Structure 1
Amino acid sequence: MTQSNLETLYESLRLRKRPEDIAVLIKEVLQGDLSAKEMQLLNKAASGALRNQVWQYTSMLEAFADVSGAQVQVSRAMQLFKTDGANDMSAYDDPLVVEAFLAKVSAVIHKNPGYSDYKTDRLNREERMAAGLDISRRRYNKLFRCLRHLDKKLHTMLRGHRKSLFQRIGKHGFAEDITREDFMKDVNSACFIAYYTARCNLRSEFTVSGQQRAFDEIADMLLQRCLYEPVDASWWDIMPAKRQPRQQDTANWPAIAMVYPDQQVLRKLSPEQQGFLLGKWTTLLQQVATFLEELWQTNVFDRQSMVVRSGNDSTTWNNTANAWNKARDGWMSLIYALGMEFILEEMCFGKVMRLIAGDVAEWHHMEGHKGDPNLSVWNQLPLPWEVFSGKTTCNRERVAAACKAAGLDPERSGWIAPRVHHPVPFLPTPELVHGVTVSNPYLATILKQHKYFSGKDASPLSPEKN
């Protein structure tokens, strides 16, 4: 049973399971090895698991949205070119498989993949004859048009996979890069990784009181199990300074650091492991910076307020901003762990602000809020991706001055130093419809079907009687 539950926990890293449902699996995995206090904490979440509810149902998807594949376009190309492809058509959900197929069939008409302009990239009659293509112009144009559609679909897939990747990384870091073998090495590490990842994957709520923090009291307890030796049933009540570190440190700290690059975790890594992780976060920053710049140039944002305007792709921007801030936090933690914070004296790029809905901004105003001080810092500094790429300059002194002008502590706010994670109380996962809390999951499903809270024209729940 323990092995089966561990497998389920590992699979959850790529899903969007509720923390309550992960907690109930952790209880079964750690059964007989939990103190009374630990069991009490886990029960706060496990009691809300779907299996323990009357309706055993949630309206929220338990997986991230998939990117649609190219099965339709590939199937059409197979018919026209009279060629075979992968036996399993689901393989064409993978852009690399589609790219290989496109290269194969493009060679039939001597077309270069990616070059699909009707005016400049088609072969004329003489060029077709020279290439040995003994087909009519109409037939050639039909094949070229088919490949053009497949080319366009591949471009859409690549962009969709990039957006999906940034959305997931913005939530749970490099959780999906943890191998099954590494995950299974240590039970306590696996439980912390699975639960903390589920907490990171919580959806944003429509609120002015701030979003739930991922590192709650249960995540803290699971992390402490990796750090300290449980002497007896009351060990959790011992002051942290008096707890005994585990005699045999079996925790998989490199795997934990993939999702939780906190200073106390990073200190457990070797310099080589820290350097490897720094390279991963830096590479991710580079990838996200390129996409952020593209989005910034193709949208018209109100930088001063960051309130959504008509035509803004707010979902893509916010997901990509989350990925940047997550990567930046990891990068910042690593350079401090390696004693390389001197880098900030020359290059200190800032956070990226998310777009905010106009109704939420108005709600803040009605509540008397004077605005997010982080927005003031964002407006005083150069665009972060331009600093990262070297197009402009910004250093720690400038960022610290902007923070102080906005009334923020430069270090505790995470602008020039690693974030300090303090555990927060566990809160149940709300049932959300476009960010709005709904008490009943069945009602939530009906409201979604009728487009309530979506910003679109909602249809009445029941037609008016004349």
Structure 2
Amino acid sequence: MNLRPLYETLQQRRRPEDIADLLLPLLQDRLTPTQLATLRRAASHSVRQGVWQYTSLLDTFRTPVGATQQVQQSAVLFGVPFPPTQRYDSADEVAAFLHQINPLIGKQYQANNYRTDRLDQAARTAAGLDLSKRRYNKLFRSVRHLEQKLQRLLQEWRKLELEQVAKHGLIHDLPYEVFARDLDSAAFIAYYTARCNLRSEFTLDGQQRPYDDVADMLFQRCAGAAPSTVACWLGAAAQPASPTANWWAMAHVYPAPHVLAQLAGEQQGQLLGRWTTFLQEAATYLRDVWARNTFARQTMIVKRGDDSSTWNAAAGAWNKARDNWINLLYALGMEFVLEELCFGKALRLMAADVAAWHRSAGQGLDPNTQVWAALPLPWEVFAGTATCTRAQVAAACQQAGLDPEKSGWLAPRPHGVVKFRPTPELVHGVRIANPYLAAILKRHRYFSGKAARPLRPEQNERNTPPG
């Protein structure tokens, strides 16, 4: 069975309803009437079956802008071939082009200082370069600008990876051959990944939890004789699970204790190693972002000049990695590590208008903020310049009125099963009832925090999405 279309959604940001619609023809002959009704209830809200048959939400993550234009300009200046179909979206492609043109002016990669790295007339002659000073400087500037673009591209791709990990863990790196081993497992992975990828809403009620009744139905088909998810969280004894379930693949997006328990010790250790390495890289990234900004640590409310998008992407990825790292420690019986080494969470920045909304509703700051402010910074603990133990975290949680186990600071985070809810049309987190109106408001920058462009009748007619 060809599961490529389903697999490709792991790299996208499709709505769960649309994934359910993709699953219907694959599973309809395998589901019980009750299971089929559950899946059809979600699929009925898909774009194909929906009333509007249109959504303003992009079905991909934000993609970094490539260097096609800059490479093309440099290729013309240097007189080297430029394939018209090549897009140069990846950093590797841009780096390969730079390694091709740098030697043409006797330049080393990343040697971009105008004072020390440019060749004078004598050095150009010695290098066999028959170029005037003006011509050489023009080529040098072109390469310098392209290398700067490469650095920005590397940063944007890294930020995209952090955003993906923050949403759905490691699933976007799973090979197709592993994903396609079991249909029921692949169905759960695709749907649950889409649920994890839901965009954040501007709300006081908290964000949607990814594990809904549709995901639970799909998971129970994989679990076989295993107890329900809720029963597992309540400590039910493990039972034999389906021998065909692809637990290894599912652990990349849903590393719950009852999933990790089905893995071999070697597989658990491999995941622990991957998440530990990721934590190390994320700690360095967080440290650098923190150093470039002046965040208000006691409140974590955004102020003018804060790079909140970069910080929140990194903090979200750190917290996802930390949760999974703790889950694996418990799965391996290694929770004793937390007695001496217990990284804290990294709090995301909150928009000032959301904070004001919370205050107007009689709510204070998230108590997790108080715990975050009381503990050493995560990268300091990882580097060994500060100490953070289980006892310190437990004391900070108790001071803030949080249960250190149930709040996810010291133990695997429990969850239940929420009811399926159709994905709302959002414009910068604000729910809009009509997807066509949402598209227009988004195009005119409403709710973006920037100066909105006025809506004029002639613009509305021109900008209305196709029916």
Query: What's the TM-score, normalizing by structure 2?
Result: 0.93
Match of 1:265 among 246, 259, 263: 259
- Runs of 4+ more than 3 Å apart: 85-88, 239-246
* Offset of residue 46 of structure 1: 1.2
2:98 aligned with 1:102, yes or no? Answer: yes
**1:28-67 superposed matches below 5 A:** 28-67=25-64
Is the CA contact 1:295–1:317 (under 8 Å) kept in the aligned structure 2? yes
Is the CA contact 2:209–2:418 (under 8 Å) kept in the aligned structure 1? yes
Which piece of structure 1 moves more, 192-201 or 332-341? 332-341
In structure 1, what is the Cα distance between the partners aligned to 2:323 and 2:400? 20
* Offset of residue 40 of structure 1: 2.6
Q: Which residue is equivalent to 1:186?
A: 182
In structure 2, what is the Cα distance between the partners aligned to 1:44 and 1:371? 37
Is the CA contact 2:28–2:36 (under 8 Å) kept in the aligned structure 1? no
In structure 1, what is the Cα distance between the partners aligned to 2:364 and 2:122? 70
One-letter amino acid matched to 2:448: S
* Offset of residue 138 of structure 1: 1.4
Where does structure 1 lack aligned partners over 5 or more consecutive residues? Answer: none
In structure 2, what is the Cα distance between the partners aligned to 1:30 and 1:318? 37
2:396 aligned with 1:402, yes or no? Answer: yes
Give the share of equivalent positions with the same residue, in percent: 55
Match of 1:438 among 426, 432, 437: 432
Q: Which residue is equivalent to 1:122?
A: 118
In structure 2, what is the Cα distance between the partners aligned to 1:243 and 1:258? 21
* Offset of residue 37 of structure 1: 2.4
In structure 1, what is the Cα distance between the partners aligned to 2:349 and 2:237? 45
**1:177-256 superposed matches below 5 A:** 177-228=173-224, 245-246=240-241, 249-256=243-250
In structure 2, what is the Cα distance between the partners aligned to 1:318 and 1:288? 12
2:78 aligned with 1:84, yes or no? Answer: no
One-letter amino acid matched to 1:378: W
Which piece of structure 1 moves more, 21-30 or 322-331? 21-30
In structure 2, what is the Cα distance between the partners aligned to 1:363 and 1:328? 29
Is the CA contact 2:16–2:195 (under 8 Å) kept in the aligned structure 1? yes
1:298-324 CA distance string (max 9 Å, x none): 111111111110011211111111111
One-letter amino acid matched to 1:42: L
- Relative distance call for 1:244 and 1:380 in structure 2 (3 A) is closer
2:313 aligned with 1:316, yes or no? Answer: no
Match of 1:276 among 270, 289, 293: 270
2:64 aligned with 1:70, yes or no? Answer: no
Q: Which residue is equivalent to 1:9?
A: 6
In structure 2, what is the Cα distance between the partners aligned to 1:70 and 1:24? 36
Match of 1:339 among 313, 333, 336: 333
- Relative distance call for 1:449 and 1:53 in structure 2 (3 A) is same
2:148 aligned with 1:152, yes or no? Answer: yes
The number of aligned residues is 453
Is the CA contact 1:228–1:243 (under 8 Å) kept in the aligned structure 2? no
- Relative distance call for 1:451 and 1:379 in structure 2 (3 A) is same
Q: Which residue is equivalent to 1:162?
A: 158
Query: What's the TM-score, normalizing by structure 1?
Result: 0.93
Where does structure 2 lack aligned partners over 5 or more consecutive residues? Answer: 459-467
2:307 aligned with 1:301, yes or no? Answer: no
Is the CA contact 1:85–1:101 (under 8 Å) kept in the aligned structure 2? no
* Offset of residue 463 of structure 1: 7.1
Is the CA contact 1:307–1:358 (under 8 Å) kept in the aligned structure 2? yes
